A and B are shown apart, each in its own frame.
Chain A
Amino acid sequence: MNSEERNVWAALLSSLIVNPYFFYRIWIMFTDGTNIATDGMQLWARTIIWALPASILSTILLTILAGIVMGMVTGEKAALFRKDERDRLYQLWGLGVTMAATVAGFVSAICCLALGLSGVLAFTLVYLGCAIGDMAGNSLKLVLYRTR
């Protein structure tokens, strides 16, 4: 396993930890009716604004932790950010999947608004598209690393 693959594992694990928590918070907002309240959009944004720093922080911590663990297990001194043409190619393919899912989320949000559904639901679909896209892109990269 090279350093880039290890970083992808860390990013995927981070997504699997952070995203369910925020989707749980959004789920609560939908069940208690916050989504249809007049300040629902603001409350939604105040919750989700923490997803970005939480995701960045957990990814950094997990990357460092994975680096330490891998170094101890394999004894290999892999540079944290060493990257070659194969990594860049897989990163590009992963980005394609991420973009496709993100665009799907955005289009779903537009359809949602066109149907007269709440703005909170539309923004949630955008966030869902980004989250799924991120995880799908990272999963594809791991499949490529493992099978090719």
Chain B
Amino acid sequence: MALRITNQIRRLRFDAREMTQADLAARVGVTRQTIMAIEAAKYSPSLELAFLIARAFDKPLDAVFQFET
């Protein structure tokens, strides 16, 4: 069974007045490349980072990240 974590970061950035990856990275304390990797679902963030990203958009965690089987 293939498990996959998807996310809505791109859409949420768009809704937040086209927040840039660099802006989001600065808010949560990671590099822009890490945000890029998370957005492309190539890297799954730690729980701590996932909560920080959700907080940056003022959304609950499951509105940002979804777990698909």
Contact = CB atoms under 8 A, between A and B. Distances in A.
Contacts of B49: 85
A47 interface: no
A119 B38 CA distance: 50
B46 A82 contact: no
Contacts of A147: 42
A84 B29 contact: yes
B31 A84 contact: yes
Contact of B46 (A1, A85, A145, A148): A85
Contact of A148 (B32, B37, B45): B37
B33 A85 contact: no
Task: Give the dominant DSSP class at B's interface.
Answer: loop
A2 B32 contact: yes
Interface residues of A, number: 14
Nearest to A148: B42
Interface in A82-122: 82, 84-87
Contacts of B34: 2, 84-87
Given A2-B32, A84-B30, A148-B42, 19 more contacts: A2-B33, A2-B34, A3-B31, A5-B33, A82-B31, A84-B29, A84-B31, A84-B34, A85-B30, A85-B34, A85-B46, A86-B31, A86-B33, A86-B43, A87-B34, A145-B33, A147-B42, A148-B37, A148-B43
Interface of A: 1-5, 78, 82, 84-87, 145, 147-148
Interface of B: 29-34, 37, 42-43, 45-46, 49
5 contacts: A1-B33, A2-B33, A85-B30, A86-B33, A147-B42
4 nearest CB pairs, A to B:
A84-B30, A2-B33, A2-B31, A86-B34
